Amino acid sequence: QVQLVESGGGLVQAGGSLRLSCAASGRTFSSYAMGWFRQAPGKEREFVAAINWSGVYTSYGDSVKGRFTISRDNAKNTVYLEMNSLKPEDTAVYYCARGLRPTIINVMSEYGYWGQGTQVTVSS
CA distance linking residue 36 with residue 100, whole number of Å: 14
- Model pLDDT, residue 26: 81
Please give the pLDDT value at position 32: 96
Lowest mean pLDDT, pick from 18-22, 70-74, 103-107 = 103-107
**Cα gap 123→56, rounded to integer Å:** 33
pLDDT of residue 1: 84
- 27 — pLDDT class (breaks 50, 70, 90): confident
Q: How crowded is residue 114: how many other Cβ atoms within 10 Å of its Cβ? A: 17
Please report which confidence band the pLDDT of residue 37 belongs to, taking 50, 70 and 90 as the band edges.
Answer: very high
